[in-house]
Amino acid sequence: MPFQPGEIRWDLACGPRADGRWHGWYRVMVDAAALRSLGLHPDQPTSVVDGPSPPGWWHAAAERHMR
């Protein structure tokens, strides 16, 4: 993993949705300084999107492949 201990944190929360079914979600937090070595800090030019997003079918195919 490219992060050192203490540079990344994740939490899991769960609770009932409006329909009564339980739902869980994750929150991932990364120290901003830790993103610099990966070129992902907001102040770096490499963190800016420089092209169009892949088409919708690409995202759907990736989700199907995950299952």
CB 15 within 8 A of CB 22: yes
Q: Which pLDDT score, from 0 to 100, does residue 32 have?
A: 84
Label residue 1 by pLDDT band (50, 70, 90): low
Bridge partners (DSSP) of residue 27 are 11
Bridge partners (DSSP) of residue 11 are 27
The answer to the question of residue 62 being in a domain is yes
The answer to the question of residue 2 being in a domain is no
Q: Which pLDDT score, from 0 to 100, does residue 23 have?
A: 92
**Which residue range(s) make up the domain with 39?**
8-66
Our count of domains for the chain comes to: 1
The answer to the question of residue 3 being in a domain is no
Mean local confidence (pLDDT), 15-30: 92
- Tell me the whole-structure pTM to 2 decimals: 0.49
Of 50, 30, 48, whose CA–CA distance to 39 is shortest? Answer: 48
The answer to the question of residue 59 being in a domain is yes
Label residue 22 by pLDDT band (50, 70, 90): very high
